[in-house]
Structure 1
């Protein structure tokens, strides 16, 4: 799946909350991973599609994975870098090995990014 970002927008990665080490036995050695914060992720809560690989490019998100018969959704955040009116490009998906299997999203909608009060 390839999802073009509207011009002037950028991806926003989320850092999941890390779980604190167990405090029940202070003398017990904690695994090294307990001190390492969770890695930033692109997927937002509520995503039902779990890609096998994700590429975050400057102008798009490219996801590789297995499609199921039911509808799936991949949620991610973007941030506007400027104010103005933008067209949201339609999503595009295709099979890697079968050229006759493809999908295209509906034509994009317009989005207006207004200045924040005080700017």
Structure 2
């Protein structure tokens, strides 16, 4: 999405964030159903269905790493025009009630941040209901 729908400038709307969060679960359900239908015609695809979780994790790791490498956002975030930016948060420990300082950088994510993002996106993806 190359335009902002109802948001304030660069800030995403609630609906964009919600849709980006729900997309991986919908993609998983669609792929599971598609492979189930294809397995009716091709019995060799039953092996893929036996290892559905591992197959989906491998597919998502490739998809998410490519998306983070090219767009600085996960696959679902890039579809809605969202991207990740590095943030530096510093907390004043002497005065716990004071506000913390947050600096947002316009630079791209570092390689370590991208790797950790892929790990968390794949490992924390919603499982089967």
The TM-score, its normalising length taken from structure 2, stands at 0.23
Bigger share in helix? 2
- Using the size of structure 1 for normalisation, the TM-score is 0.24
Which is strand-richer, 1 or 2? 1
- Which structure is higher in RCO with an 8 Å CA cutoff and minimum separation 6? 1
